[in-house]
Structure 1
Amino acid sequence: MVRRNTRDPQPPEGTRAAAPTAADRIPAELYFVVSAIFHYLGPAFAVLLFARIEPLGVAWLRILAAGVVFAAWRRPWRRWARANAGEKRAIVGWACVLAIMNTCFYLAIDRLPLGTVAAIEFAGPVLLAAIGVRSPRNVAALVFAVGGVAALADVRLSGSPAGFAFATANMLLFTGYIVIAHRVSRHRQLAGIDGLAMAMLIAAVVALPVGITDALPAFGDAVAIGAAVGVGVTSSVIPYVLDQLAMRRLARATYAVMVALLPATATVIGIAVLGQLPTPVEALGVALVVAGVALHREPG
């Protein structure tokens, strides 16, 4: 017997429902998992790029590269002209969050291990997840996820005070990113990827005064520019597009719980790319995070 998904809105009587696209047939959770992998794969490569370009320059080049790709792909200014004032304000706010968040993130990973920054990043979204908890099962899922992230964070609490300050600022901005991005995914004109594309273009302008000086030497280094473009695509284009595809179909609280995968993913990528080997406590943290996300169920 086939069970109908009662969460999907039914079309009015006498109308035909739009046929699902290929993107709609892919589970939203799978979009998030792939996004989590790229979310830290690009920054892991960026750490290697710090030998050629200062962190602020890498941050701006990442945003600029993503903005150029989005501009060529989506041409979002066409929808910008038709958007209402509320949508435009949301996009500008999102752009400012993206610009400052990426800058703080790169300044943090220049001073702290990638896994530590990712664990701190989760502290804000866990509050969003707690607000959306509606069942004992999801309470247990949240406890597992928080316990896992705590295990990951407790491993390396020593380091640069400035690094922790930038990581905390990044955490607050990442929480804002989730709230605004979830709202933009439901816009009429500047929805989803088109809204993201316009926000990234504006973010490149916002971050220009901070990053241009450190980025200038890269324009004479073909290898550095190529690597920076690669970081932009893997860090901003692929994961943020997948975020929008996931947010369109996930409740905000569910997405916030799944953010617990990010510290675990960062730890695994830190092993593979940067040789930052985990301790048994870190391995336990990764296992708890995976268990928590697997236990969580989308509210009906």
Structure 2
Amino acid sequence: MTPRAPSTTVPPWGLAVAAMLSIQLGSALSVDLIDTVGPAGTAWLRLSAGALIFLVLARPPLRSVRRPDVPALLGLGITTGVMTTGFLAAIERIPLGTAVAIEFLGPLTVAAARSHSLRALARPGLALAGVVLLTEPWHGRIDLAGIGFAGLAAVGWGCYILLTQRIGDRFNGIDALSMTVPVAAVTAAVIGVPQAAGHITPGVLAAAAGLALLLPVLPFALEMLALRRMTPTAFGTLMAVEPAFGVLLGLLVLHQQPSGVQTAGILLVVLAGAAAQRGGRRRPRLSEPTADRPALDPIG
């Protein structure tokens, strides 16, 4: 009997954690660009640079697209553009960790709604309590616009998880992103082009291209791979640690020091999804993601 070779496949939770770190670092480093071209302008430039990178890496498999795929592809692209613009508008107004905690309510709600456990239904409430501690409304310094934009990003993130899994089951991750990220860039351009007009310089373009590697290129590819091997419940609750990454990088990069109460709020949000990776691995699909070519998994 031939011994089995040890598996070198990166576990799906490892892919998700790497994506989270890349997202939060990219968000923290985007603050200076936001000051120059605005949040929508930053979203448009980053997504446009990301779209060009994905188009270089992969030719969009348009011949493999079936009519039922079109709404999901367009929906994922539009959702990505709205989510990115809303989140960048939020971090322009409120601390990075707070914005991430509010945005996390989206995937956590998806996780609770799709879970078969009654205990999971309490998690969004626990996370919401943490958000209240983070915003400290009793101090009278709450930024309603910032919270509203973060809430818009939360809705977008919840939809993004469901649509990404559906598209990831049909197409190779890079191929799918070569179709959806250009749609996201066009969506962000509606507000981003007027906002950035007159402020675009070679330095701004270079910064946007560099940031595009951190977000969207690397994390979107990693998330697509992760969601092909995880349930939305597991992925959504695993994202609970992302607010902690946001606070950490906000502290290290932006020097945003949370108070003791806000730290407690972050802990509540993280506790809301503490059991993320348990029972969340999806069963392997028997069919290929596309009709004419196998899926390519550069990680595993």
Q: Which residue of 2 aligns with 1:62?
A: 46
1:84 aligns with 2:63: no
Query: Against the structure 1 CA distance between its residues 97 and 30, is the aligned structure 2 distance closer, same or farther, given a 3 Å change threshold?
Result: same
Amino acid across the alignment from 2:147: F
Percent identity over paired residues: 32
2:139 counterpart of 1:124 = no
Paired AA for residue 56 in structure 2: A
The one-letter code matched in structure 1 to 2:142 is G
Tell me how far 1:118 sits from its aligned partner: 1.0
* Shift of residue 135, structure 1, vs aligned partner: 5.4
Residue 194 of structure 1 corresponds to 175
- Please report the RMSD computed on the Cα atoms of aligned residues, expressed in angstroms: 2.5
Is 1:251 aligned to residue 227 of structure 2?
no
Spell out the pairing of 1:1-300 with structure 2 (5 A cutoff).
Answer: 25-76=9-60, 79-134=61-116, 139=119, 147=126, 150-151=129-130, 153-156=132-135, 157=137, 158-187=141-170, 190-219=171-200, 221-287=201-267, 293=273, 295-296=275-276, 297-299=278-280
Q: Gaps (5+ residues) in structure 1?
A: 1-18
Of the structure 1 ranges 250-259 and 197-206, higher mean CA displacement relative to structure 2 is found in: 197-206
Identify which range, 245-254 or 122-131, moves more after superposition.
Answer: 122-131
Give the Cα separation in 2 of the matches to 1:145 and 1:37: 23
Runs (4+) off by over 4 Å? 19-22, 142-146, 285-294
CA change 1:210–1:291 in 2 (3 A) is closer
The amino acid of 2:86's aligned partner reads: C
Distance 1:253 1:62 in 2: 29
How many Å apart are 1:92 and its aligned residue?
0.9
Aligned pairs, number: 272
Aligned to 1:11: none
- Compute the displacement of 1:218 (Å): 4.4
User: In the TM superposition, what is the alpha-carbon distance from 1:288 to its structure 2 partner?
Assistant: 5.2
Unaligned 5+ runs, structure 2 = 282-300
Deviations 1:33-75 (A, max 9, x none): 1111111211111112233222221111011011011010112
Superposed CA offset, 1:227-247 (max 9, x none): 111222212111111101110
Measure how far apart 1:280 and its partner are.
Answer: 2.7
1:5 corresponding residue in structure 2: none
